[in-house]
Chains A and B, each alone.
Chain A
Amino acid sequence: QVQLVESGGGVVQPGGSLRLSCAASGFTFSSFAMHWVRQAPGKGLEWVAFIRYDGSSKSYSDSVKGRFTISRDNSQNTLWLQMDSLRAEDAALYYCAKAHSSSWYWTADSWGQGTLVTVSS
């Protein structure tokens, strides 16, 4: 079965950096686009970033564009989110999510349990 395990969350000061990882198993990672989605405390889901199955195309929400970078290594079945210039409003539970299919790649059909990012001085 599909398994997505996020790691790398923690406490970071404003302006700092953090790199999140997502280890994927149970499916052919190299065939699926992937997403990062976050949920701030008491708030709803917010899409953060998308990467095509081969890494050739990436997309970001306006709130993180220019500060966050999504990447993947299909040989290691791993997805990353490099987060720089972190702000208080970036504090959230970050989910790694697998795209449903090549036809429905903006839909996520499997999600990890999330990794918590806290931004505080």
Chain B
Amino acid sequence: QSVLTQPPSVSGAPGQRVTISCTGSSSNFGAGYDVHWYQHLPGAAPKLLIYGNTNRPSGVPDRFSGSKSDTSASLAITGLQAEDEADYYCQSYDRSLSGSVFGGGTKLTVL
């Protein structure tokens, strides 16, 4: 059972918009800690997509956006492309655990 809760899977057709939710608690998001998002393709190293709730590292398309509110966060992907098919993870700091925590991951399928 992960500290951060994500849906196991989401899907969408090419060109559509999908969102991936991440639910935390008062010891992470609710305590003011930020959410970060990673994309993980099979056989590859994870890639940072969003940091500090809404910031995109250079090179990440603006089709990817993040938001956070109280104890929940979301990753939105617009204009879905086949290459977006991957596992997506949210991550934050948890003060009760005094360390980093990941969500269980969400598998995105592009139909």
Contacts and interface: CB of A to CB of B under 8 A. Distances in A.
**How would you classify the secondary structure of chain A's contact residues: helix, strand, loop or mixed?**
strand
B contacts with A: majority SS:
strand
A111 interface: yes
Interface residues of A, number: 23
A62 interface: yes
B102 A45 contact: yes
B89 A50 contact: no
Interface residues of B, number: 27
B45 A107 contact: no
A44 B48 contact: no
Contacts, number: 63
A59 B2 CA distance: 18
A44 B45 contact: no
B99 A61 contact: yes
A19 interface: no
Contact of B100 (A47, A111, A113): A47
A44 B99 contact: no
Given A95-B46, A109-B51, A112-B45, A44 B100 contact: no
A111 to B, nearest CB: 4
Given A108-B48, A113-B45, 16 more contacts: A37-B102, A44-B2, A44-B89, A44-B104, A45-B89, A46-B102, A61-B99, A62-B97, A95-B45, A104-B36, A106-B33, A107-B36, A109-B48, A111-B45, A111-B47, A112-B45
Interface of B: 2, 33-34, 36, 38, 40, 45-48, 51-52, 57, 87, 89, 91-93, 97-105
